[in-house]
Amino acid sequence: MMDQGTDLFSKFDPLIQQRQQLLDAGIEDPFSLVMEKVLSPTRAICNGRDTILLGTYNYMGMTFDPDVIDAGKQALTDFGTGTTGSRVLNGTYQGHKECEDALKEFYGMDHAMVFSTGYQANLGIISTIAGKGDYIVLDIDSHASIWDGCAMGKAEIVPFKHNDIEAMEKRLKRIPEGAGILVVLEGVYSMLGDVAPLKEMVAIAKRYGAMVLVDEAHSMGFIGENGRGVAEAEGIINDVDFVIGTFSKSVGTVGGFCVSNHPKFEIMRLVCRPYVFTASLPPSVVATAATSIRKLMHGSNKRAHLWENSRILHGGLRNLGFQLGTDTPQSAIIAVIMPDLERGAMMWEALLKEGLYVNLARPPATPANMTLLRCSLCAEHSAQEVQTILGMFERAGKIVGII
């Protein structure tokens, strides 16, 4: 008879139990919501109810832009549904080149490389450029795709305390002279919506001879005069060696990219495994991305309105007595800190019943074991909608006993 062996799923038992406890308490599963119909960048039908969307990262509201939709439809008609191939074989169409041209223009950089997701862009670029004997110095609150890129490569990993300039410098000081160093930072950290002190950090990194990669996933399109991100807002974009971004937020579709001025950057197309060994984005996706990126270059009115929304929601929630992730509005993400997972889930459900969708985030994705209700604003939220959202938070907060 065969040995029974160990069930490889037993390691998930604590999580299975935690989830079951929530469901047994009668709380709807916050991680399996279905949007039955999406009406606009800010509205969907969820559980049969017209719901305001406040947790989509659709910052610039490009998902229903008529020009973007038309570009996608045309590419579907002209080029078919998919490329069925890698970028380095049969998977580079005219649309991929046009998308990379749009990115080069958007960032004013020499090179752009489009990946199938932002996750793969971090995975690929980080694991390929930092190899055995090199060092990666990174913020401890970095996105999972950054950590996974580090794990996939063979470099020494040196984390430092979140947004702590001195801690970063201390780590850099200890690295043996002459070693290759990559400092990895994010413009906006997506859990709390706080911004990195990039100006100081990049200056220090350069002093220690490091190359710098900045993930601008949550700032592209919105932060900076031209929407290039926090590095642009802080006036140091030309000191950044690699900017990583995604199409799944402000651009409004799916995909990822890296832009750079490094003169040897194009070699990445041959050596970066998450670029080579996967199928390229469908023609309709790159056509929508290219059109959206070009429109974002002229999005200053939308950017101004989004800042206004962020300021009003942040101030309103604080006045209601909620504890927030940042003292001031720093981005389009406003994180509301919950006392614990159970009340976080109850609040999430109470808001959904009010007709508002936000993201429930819990450890291990969150820093310091926090449970968060993460709100991400959209440039298409009207001033009236932001007031309606504040009313919903007030009622739900009182029902659950948080305020």
Ligand X SMILES: Cc1ncc(COP(=O)(O)O)c(C=O)c1O
Q: Which residues bind ligand X (CB under 6 A)?
A: 117-119, 122, 143, 145, 186, 190, 215, 217-218, 246, 248, 256
Of 250 and 291, nearer to ligand X (C-beta) is 250
**What residue has token string 């060092």?**
135
Of 175 and 285, the one with the shorter C-beta distance to ligand X is: 285
Q: How far is the CB of 91 from ligand X (least distance, A)?
A: 18
Specify the residue, 100 or 186, whose C-beta has the smaller distance to ligand X.
Answer: 186
Residue 37: exposure state from Cβ atoms within 10 A (0-12, 13-18, ≥19): exposed
Of all residues in the shown chain, the one whose CB is closest to ligand X is 118
Which residue lies nearer to ligand X by CB, 210 or 213?
213
Between 256 and 329, name the residue whose CB sits nearer to ligand X. Answer: 256
Query: Smallest distance from the beta carbon of 118 to ligand X, in angstroms?
Result: 3
How far is Cα 290 from Cα 283, in angstroms, rounded to an integer?
A: 11
- Cβ proximity to ligand X, 55 vs 118, nearer residue: 118
* Residue 236 CB, nearest approach to ligand X (Å): 19
* Beta carbons of 208 and 168 less than 8 angstroms apart: no
Residue 147 has which token pair?
């950590």
For 368, residues 6+ apart whose C-beta sits below 8 A from its C-beta are none
Rank residues 163 and 346 by Cβ distance to ligand X and give the closer one. 163
Pairwise CA distance, residues 365 & 275, whole Å: 26
Kindly give the residue spans of alpha helices, DSSP state H, lying in 225-354: 230-233, 268-271, 273-276, 283-296, 300-320, 341-354
Name residue, tokens 């003169």.
263
Which C-beta is closer to ligand X: that of 254 or that of 337?
Answer: 254
| Rounded least distance, CB 116 to ligand X, Å | 9
Cα torsion angle, 325, 328, 331, 336, sign = positive
**Minimum CB–partner distance for residue 142 and ligand X (Å):** 8
Q: Cα dihedral sign for 331, 394, 20, 53?
A: negative
- Smallest distance, Å, CB 358 to ligand X? 16
CB of 279 to ligand X, least distance (A): 15
Residue 93 CA to its chain's centroid (Å): 26
Residue 78: strand, helix, or coil = helix
Taking the C-alpha atoms of residue 205 and residue 160, their distance in angstroms, rounded to an integer, is: 13
Find how far residue 379's CA is from the centre of its chain: 17
The alpha carbon of residue 372 and the mean position of all alpha carbons in its chain are separated, in whole angstroms, by 16
The least distance separating ligand X from the CB of residue 187, rounded to whole angstroms, comes to 9
